[in-house]
Amino acid sequence: MLNFLSAGNQKQVVGIALTPGIGLEAVILDRNKSTILNYGQKKVEYNFSTREIQDYVQFKTALVELMDEMKIAPKSFVYLVLPNVYFDFLEIPPMISNPEIKTAILSKAEEFYIFKRDEPVSGWCEIINLEGGSQKKLAYASFQKSTVDEIKEIISDVGLQLVGIESSYSATLRGLYVTGYISDVVLEEASWTAMLINTNSYTLFQMDGKNLVNYNEVPLAIKSFSMEEAYQTIVSSSSQFLSNFSSTNLYIISQTDDICAEVLKRQLQFDREIIAIDSNKYSKKPLMEVMSATDFNAANSVTLATIGAACTKTDFNLILNVLQDDPNANMGVYFTTKILGNTVEVTSNFVDKLAILIVAVCAIIFGALIGLLYFLDIQSQNNISEINNQIQSIDAQINAESKTEKKVEIDMNMVIDEVAALNVTAINFYDSIATDIPKNVWLTKYYNKAGNQIAIRGIAESIIDIYEYYKNLRIVSPQSDIKLTELKVVTENSQSQEESNVIKDLAIDNNTDRLYSFEISNTEIQFSPKKQDKEDVADENEIIPRVKTENIEQPSKQMKPTN
């Protein structure tokens, strides 16, 4: 995918700079490795009086030769840096529009003598907010429109694509950042100063981190001085400016063979660090490692402006491209980014391909979703059909069973009578418990199984009361075979737990009163087992204890059962 997106975007941006005293430079950078892939240099004259290229034919020839020697592919992007013609600041309200900015810059630039006969073309960028945001400050650079048009035509003729034209001032400051010279001061947002020395002037840039605060250009016809006089003139004229700058570092950049930055460094009265950078015959090595060059000796003099031209998209945003409103030129202004560890160059072509790829991926995903929904719909329809078939089969079975099934009418009254008849004995005994217990008889245990197997135990104050209760039970259920199976006198030692509880509630005096325990039953039941077997013995706290068929306690011998 990355190869597809990057296809057609691998054209290098060729940085080209016209530097007086050096000529036409061309450089191709590897921005990831901070190295110069290729460098070339050709002689081209520049006219300082008219501030334009002396011979456009020479310029075109030099450009073609550089393309051939450096193997620059046709349609490659070219970013051109020219010697400064007009550079200034402009303070404007924050909401002002671009057309109004153009008008304001035009009115100021026309005061410069060059533009009294030739219309200016300008590039600008915001550098700082002033007065709490009520004003913003712009830096701008202007060139003659005729010069820009001539260059655009030449570059188009040789088969390259021009994407920018910029002043050497802003390109040089950006080159300082790209080469790493100012990385520390930018990171610390410290104040620093750059001194750029050319053949006919030197310029001081006062910086605050990445922000351009001020600049001063001092005309100086260096060739009219002896070498010693030239150094002394620069030292004396710059000392006043430097004393007003609260800078941590001073960077001296010499682009003329008449001034050596190292020599000037030793003569300046500046109590802070000075970094000397020579882009001239005094340079002993290039500003960056050069992998290939048409002339390695010439590569020692590569300028910061050329490097800045080859790398327009950085964190250092001082870019004054006069073609910034040209849609054809902006197609080539791009930046690089990391995607999955791969470096991808982002251009308008890249964006177009990315948009196509996104649309294609979305179409594939949408198609896949439609296909999935269609498949799920078919599956659902099949499941519904299968369920409907099962329902129809079950309905058919129900209908078939309904036709053969015999309807049976149930007489509920008869059912009730049958249930009552089967349980009449049990019901009668239950009734007797509630209504036929004599006054002085107390029941302690009751057992009933299947309605006709019963056992009752209790205590009474007299045998007559016991017999009365027995007689009542026989009256209630005459068909039963109940007998008085036990009768004995209750003593303190013979009391069971439940008898003891009843006697306590009755407040019986054991010394004067006599109580009798009795058992009436028609089955063998062990109410009070001698051995406590959890599996075979009923819980005495239960109203209906479990029946044990073996070792049942025999009826008392004190009284024989009577009918």
- Please give the model's pTM, rounded to 2 decimal places: 0.60
What pLDDT score does 130 carry?
A: 56
Nearest one of 507, 498, 485, 503 to 555, comparing CA atoms: 485
Comparing 511 with 357, which gets the higher pLDDT? 357
What pLDDT score does 542 carry?
A: 40
Tokens of 417: 């009578």
What pLDDT score does 63 carry?
A: 95
Dist. CA 2–CA 344, nearest whole Å: 7
Question: Which residues face 91 on adjacent strands?
Answer: 137
What pLDDT score does 321 carry?
A: 92
How many CB atoms lie under 10 A from the CB of residue 348?
A: 14
Q: Which of 140-144, 334-338, 417-421 has the lowest mean pLDDT?
A: 334-338
What pLDDT score does 404 carry?
A: 67
What pLDDT score does 315 carry?
A: 80
Does the pLDDT value for residue 6 go beyond 50? no
> Using only C-alpha atoms, what is the Rg of the chain?
58
Percent of the chain at pLDDT exceeding 70: 80
Query: What is the three-class DSSP state of 116?
Result: helix
Report residue 555's pLDDT band, with 50, 70 and 90 as the boundaries: very low
Tokens of 20: 């007086």
Give residue 346's identity as a one-letter amino acid code.
V
Does the pLDDT value for residue 415 go beyond 80? no
Q: What is the mean pLDDT of residues 476-482?
A: 74
Q: What is the mean pLDDT of residues 196-204?
A: 91
What pLDDT score does 550 carry?
A: 37
Average pLDDT in the chain: 81
325-328 CB contacts, 8 Å cutoff, 24+ apart: 325/98, 328/161
What pLDDT score does 151 carry?
A: 95
Comparing 14 with 377, which gets the higher pLDDT? 14
Longest dimension (CA), the chain: 162
What pLDDT score does 543 carry?
A: 40
Q: What is the mean pLDDT of residues 162-186?
A: 92
CA 423 to each of CA 416, 428, 476: distance values in angstroms, whole numbers, following the listed order: 11, 9, 13
Q: What is the mean pLDDT of residues 143-149?
A: 94
Q: What is the mean pLDDT of residues 107-122?
A: 88
Q: Find out whether 148 and 63 touch, Cβ atoms under 8 Å.
A: no
What pLDDT score does 532 carry?
A: 42
Q: How is the beta sheet containing 161-167 ordered, strand by strand?
A: 161-167, 77-82, 13-19, 23-30, 35-42, 289-290
